Structure 1
Amino acid sequence: MTEVLKRRLGLGLLTAYGVGVMVGAGIYVLVGAVVGQAGLWAPLAFLLAGLVALPSALVYAELATRMPEAAGEVAFIERGFASTALGLVAGLAIVLAGTISGAAVLRGGAGYLGALVPVPEPWLIVALGLVLVTVAAVGVLESMVFAAVLTVIEVGGLLAVCAVGLAAGPAADWTAPAAPDWPGVAAAISLCFFAFIGFDNIENMAEEVRDPTRTLPRAILLALAVTAVLYGLVSLAAVRAVPHAALAASERPLALLWETATGRSAAFLSAIAVFAAVNGVLAQIVMAARVLFGLGRRAGWLGAFHHAHPRFGTPVLATLLVGTALIGAALALPVAALAEATAVVLLAVFVLVNIAAIRIKRRAPAAPFRVPGFVPWAGLVAAALALVAAGGAFG
């Protein structure tokens, strides 16, 4: 065993990884909820939510160049607060949140797959989980290439939906728009913010990135920009082609968009939703294993996880533990409810990271990639407001 991960990732694969994490399966249901809040102005809500997430993304980009290592958030919090214990708690919370979130997505993906393949859901959960754990363990390059292929399939499907929606005849809500409901738009922005959680996964790959001080900031910001544009286009096509009340009431808003615009079945979207779920699960396994690898560097009782396989160059033991826990949670726990709580955990980490950035920048202003001093303050306010909103929604 070795304690060094292999640096095999470049800008393209890292950006595709970030886009895949952020787009995920959520876009297939989130559009309807956002249209229910913001109506015609749903595309604006998505784009403004991207701007709200931007300060935290910039903070992660700067801190990743200062401390380019696995379990980056642990390093950020540890240095900012001069507390190993606080960093350790945050890291364990991130591992738990990633595992539960991945379990929820795995169960959802197995449900979509079960509609296409006549196999009992528990067997599908185990089979999908084992395949993804194997891919994650075999190599980071193999994992990222697989994730990139899945991301291309996801994005291609969404662009096809956009094309038919923008080409279809406009709905009455588009030709005779209602006056904007600005409180509804504000509520939609808060909802959309959660769609951009995922850029933080990128910095946890830092020890496997070639030239991390140049590549990490670019990948984080590119992934955020691509995702914001994609969300904006999808929601624009939806509000143009489908009555807003129907979108808001539908559990399958993109399928409704396709069926309204083309008059044909949208069964292929179920297959794409499976790819999206698989991508999301793989991303969580890879991320949580890297955080566990980084924690092993700091805590003796976790030291067994700070090892990379000499051939594969991946933290195999950490990957196996995370994968096993994720599959077990998908089979046994009420993961839908627990997954909601992961958003609160991740937003609390965002708050701590922005505070840490403020303190670090005061002590050491110079950095390979540096953002203005007001940026972490803006990120702190945005994350704190989103945390309050999430606590109210899930409380």
Structure 2
Amino acid sequence: MGEPASPPPDAGELTRAGTGRPPGEGHAASGGRLGMPAATSLVIGNIVGTGIFLLPASLAAIGTISFLVMIVTTLAAVALAIVFGRLGARLPSSGGPYAYARQAFGEFAGFWTAWSFWLTAWGGNAGIAVAWVGYVNYFLHWNGTAGQIAVGLVGVWVPALINLGGVRNVGVFQLVTTVLKFVPLIFVALVGLFFMSSDNFGPFNAEGGSLWDSVWLAAGLILFIYSGMESVTIVAERVRDPERNIGRAGLCGVVACGLMYLLATVAIFGTVPHGQLVGSTAPFADAINNMFGGSGWGGVMAACAVASGIGALNGWTMLVAEMPMAAARDGLFPAGFARLSRRGAPVLGILVGAALTSLMLLFAYASENTFNTILLFASFTTAIPYFFSAAAQLYWLVTGGRGVDRGRMARDLAMAVAALLFAFAIVYGSGEEAVMLGVLAMLVGVPVYIWTKARRGEFGPSERRPASPADPGS
């Protein structure tokens, strides 16, 4: 039998590939660090994309049962945010779910988590870009496919150029776009409560079919809008005081978004008649028009959606590069993904991610109903990192590893179990087609893992055989 496998190195022992420096060193000097406001803005900016601007209309077709589903989903998202905060305190190094899975379950689990998140990041970016084009065209009216593709590519590559400028530019841009989209949305959510009419709310189960099917249809739409809550854990080394601020930024971001989602949905249900809301393509604009009259407010909300989309694309472009960078440091992605520019930007990851997003965007415009397929696909691939992160926390709690706090054991266990169930729900709510496509995409990663291991000269344990007399040294 061979020697037992060595455990993966601790996060503090990992070095940046090709630099010989410990993780985190050089970030502050080369590109700055994210403070608490910028870190929270990164979480909010990545959670709140363009989907919230269409969500109320989609939920209206299902019924007011969506409110209950949203409450339960928000509580589960809060539990997962708490788990991420505890994990960030345990391993305050970049990589987020990848680092947690690798440290808890070994190299292959870490690779598969990184691969899944990478699929989520650039695939989801394509979905955001497709939705973003629609709001830009509120002003441009470029209805031809070529024009829409051109607008979409601008939405993909402008954030890529911003990210190439370094993390300081990303943080400032993210803070500005978060304010531009969050303030108007919360305005609608709060002011709309004073204009509501009970006559506008539709039936509890508008579809009239199985209540179980309606619940999961609503869940499938709602679950994805919380993806991005793990953003701050992935860029942990770029956050000031990560042991403290990762948990605070994640929890504040999820709670703020959850309250806004719920209040905004209730307000719009109550200010827009059900029949009008079901067919609406701009429910926030319709809500404001019904509150104050006129139609000029549609342009204001379209501008908010444009800011929301470009902010989400900016934040997710950062994550597209950060996850493979962390994996490349450990030799699980090609080494080029770990190299940083003088401004501290992982250039290869940014460029490759933007290129893949562009290809997915072209695929979207060449197909029918691809937007929903992209989002559900990204929803499934999101569940893999969530599942392994919650499982890592549960593993360390049960085994007593990583400095378990006995005084908060019961609460931490409850949060970890709730996060596991949340990950299961995301998979179930994604639907059969998305799960099938997601599994196929996950399996594609296995040959990549094999190729990467072979490039490193790691071929697994070899079978020992008895030395023959002809062998040298026998």
* Deviations 1:162-199 (CA, angstroms, capped at 9, x unpaired): 3552232525146xx86789755675355423222210
2:382 corresponds to which residue? 346
Task: Supply the AA of the counterpart residue of 1:391.
Answer: G
CA distance in structure 2 between the aligned counterparts of 1:37 and 1:332, rounded to whole angstroms:
29
Among 145, 155, 172, the alignment partner of 1:145 is 172
CA distance in structure 2 between the aligned counterparts of 1:127 and 1:345, rounded to whole angstroms:
26
Mark the CA change 1:168 to 1:217 in structure 2 (over 3 Å): closer, same or farther. same
CA distance in structure 2 between the aligned counterparts of 1:160 and 1:301, rounded to whole angstroms:
44
Verify: 1:10 aligned to 2:47, yes or no: no
Task: Supply the AA of the counterpart residue of 1:137.
Answer: L
Among 69, 90, 95, the alignment partner of 2:118 is 95
Among 304, 312, 331, the alignment partner of 1:272 is 304
Q: Retained in 1: the 8 A contact 2:196–2:267?
A: no
Among 46, 56, 60, the alignment partner of 1:31 is 56
TM-score (norm 1): 0.89
> Does the residue aligned with 1:116 lie in a helix, a strand or coil?
helix
TM-score (norm 2): 0.75
Unaligned runs of 5+ in 2: 1-17, 436-474
Query: Displacement, 1:53?
Result: 1.6
Q: Retained in 2: the 8 A contact 1:97–1:339?
A: no
> Does the residue aligned with 1:68 lie in a helix, a strand or coil?
coil
Q: Retained in 1: the 8 A contact 2:340–2:347?
A: yes
CA distance in structure 1 between the aligned counterparts of 2:334 and 2:85, rounded to whole angstroms:
27
Counterparts in 2 of 1:1-395, with a 5 A limit? 4=25, 6-7=27-28, 8-39=33-64, 42-81=66-105, 83-117=106-140, 120-168=147-195, 170-173=197-200, 184=214, 188-189=218-219, 191-265=221-295, 266-299=298-331, 302-310=334-342, 312-333=343-364, 334=367, 336=371, 337-363=373-399, 364=401, 366=403, 372-392=412-432, 394=434
Of Structure 1 and Structure 2, which has the larger fraction of its residues in helix? 1
CA distance in structure 1 between the aligned counterparts of 2:251 and 2:190, rounded to whole angstroms:
25
Q: Retained in 2: the 8 A contact 1:5–1:308?
A: no
Query: Displacement, 1:227?
Result: 0.5
Mark the CA change 1:215 to 1:392 in structure 2 (over 3 Å): closer, same or farther. same
* Deviations 1:245-291 (CA, angstroms, capped at 9, x unpaired): 43233232222212222222212222221111111111111011000
27-36 or 96-105, larger mean C-alpha shift: 27-36
> Does the residue aligned with 1:37 lie in a helix, a strand or coil?
coil
Aligned length: 390
Rg: which structure is higher?
2
Q: Retained in 2: the 8 A contact 1:164–1:258?
A: no
CA distance in structure 1 between the aligned counterparts of 2:192 and 2:332, rounded to whole angstroms:
55
CA distance in structure 2 between the aligned counterparts of 1:132 and 1:190, rounded to whole angstroms:
28
378-387 or 365-374, larger mean C-alpha shift: 365-374
CA distance in structure 2 between the aligned counterparts of 1:188 and 1:300, rounded to whole angstroms:
37
> Does the residue aligned with 1:210 lie in a helix, a strand or coil?
coil
Larger RCO (CA within 8 A; separation ≥ 6): 1
Mark the CA change 1:256 to 1:392 in structure 2 (over 3 Å): closer, same or farther. farther
Task: Supply the AA of the counterpart residue of 1:19.
Answer: I
* Deviations 1:39-80 (CA, angstroms, capped at 9, x unpaired): 2x6445433321022222222111112122222211111122
Unaligned runs of 5+ in 1: none
> Does the residue aligned with 1:347 lie in a helix, a strand or coil?
helix
> Does the residue aligned with 2:412 lie in a helix, a strand or coil?
coil
CA distance in structure 1 between the aligned counterparts of 2:62 and 2:41, rounded to whole angstroms:
30
CA distance in structure 2 between the aligned counterparts of 1:392 and 1:297, rounded to whole angstroms:
35
Q: Retained in 2: the 8 A contact 1:306–1:315?
A: yes
CA distance in structure 2 between the aligned counterparts of 1:285 and 1:206, rounded to whole angstroms:
16
Task: Supply the AA of the counterpart residue of 1:366.
Answer: G
Q: Retained in 1: the 8 A contact 2:120–2:381?
A: yes
Instruction: State the percentage of identical aligned residues.
Output: 22
Task: Supply the AA of the counterpart residue of 2:362.
Answer: L
* Deviations 1:70-106 (CA, angstroms, capped at 9, x unpaired): 222111111222x212211221221122101112212
Q: Retained in 2: the 8 A contact 1:46–1:189?
A: yes
CA distance in structure 1 between the aligned counterparts of 2:333 and 2:390, rounded to whole angstroms:
28
CA-atom RMSD in angstroms: 2.6
> Does the residue aligned with 2:431 lie in a helix, a strand or coil?
helix
Q: Retained in 2: the 8 A contact 1:66–1:367?
A: no
Task: Supply the AA of the counterpart residue of 1:200.
Answer: E
> Does the residue aligned with 1:366 lie in a helix, a strand or coil?
coil
Q: Retained in 2: the 8 A contact 1:42–1:235?
A: no
CA distance in structure 1 between the aligned counterparts of 2:425 and 2:312, rounded to whole angstroms:
26
284-293 or 254-263, larger mean C-alpha shift: 254-263
Q: Retained in 2: the 8 A contact 1:133–1:320?
A: yes
Q: Retained in 2: the 8 A contact 1:79–1:360?
A: no
Task: Supply the AA of the counterpart residue of 2:153.
Answer: V
2:469 corresponds to which residue? none
